[in-house]
């Protein structure tokens, strides 16, 4: 897929969909006995596949796209790998920081966790 922007737009729709789900609970509350969580799990697998496809397409284009000088291809691929690892590291550190500060159970559920 040479139009990587299509996958980016699809990921934007995923973000919007998850934001709507977080605030409305439409999917997770749509089926009895929390069966909606299975739909959300399948959706999360789709998000991961979409992210992986975007990553793979970018690496392919770095390697095969016409117009990129051969002496810069390896540099582009290495920068892509570096940015991917940097993104994973920043996401992990952000999650850890948020989990210990504004996302603690005491802050999210000040009157106790609902049943």
pLDDT tens digit sequence for 25-66 = 899 888 898 899 999 999 999 999 998 998 899 889 888 889
Split at pLDDT 50, 70, 90, the class of 115 is low
Whole-number Å distance between alpha carbons of 22 and 42 = 16
Split at pLDDT 50, 70, 90, the class of 113 is confident
Does 115 map to a domain? no
Q: Within this chain, do residues 50 and 80 fall inside the same structural domain, yes or no?
A: no
2 has pLDDT over 90: no
Q: Within this chain, do residues 40 and 4 fall inside the same structural domain, yes or no?
A: yes
Does 30 map to a domain? yes
Whole-number Å distance between alpha carbons of 51 and 15 = 12
Q: Within this chain, do residues 80 and 53 fall inside the same structural domain, yes or no?
A: no
**Which tokens sit at 89?**
């590291």
Contact 7, 1 (CB under 8 A): yes
Q: Within this chain, do residues 25 and 57 fall inside the same structural domain, yes or no?
A: yes
Q: Tokens 């095969």 correspond to what residue?
A: 64
What is the CA angle 89-52-58, rounded to 5?
A: 90
Contact 21, 40 (CB under 8 A): yes
Does 36 map to a domain? yes
Report the phi/psi class of residue 31: left, alpha or beta, with left for phi > 0 and alpha for psi in -120 to 50. beta
Q: Sign of the C-alpha dihedral, residues 53, 56, 59, 64?
A: negative
Domain span holding position 83: 69-110
* pTM of structure: 0.70
pLDDT above 90: percentage of residues in the chain: 50
């Amino acid at each position: 897929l040479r139009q990587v922007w299509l996958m980016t737009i699809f990921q934007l729709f995923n973000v919007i969909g998850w934001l709507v789900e977080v605030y409305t609970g439409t999917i997770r509350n749509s089926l009895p006995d929390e069966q909606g969580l299975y739909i959300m799990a399948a959706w999360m697998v789709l998000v991961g596949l979409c992210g992986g496809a975007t990553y793979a397409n970018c690496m392919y284009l770095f390697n095969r796209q016409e117009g990129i000088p051969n002496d810069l291809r390896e540099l582009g691929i290495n920068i892509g790998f570096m940015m991917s690892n940097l993104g994973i590291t920043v996401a992990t550190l952000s999650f850890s920081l948020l989990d210990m500060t504004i996302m603690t159970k005491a802050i999210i559920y000040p009157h106790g966790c609902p049943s």
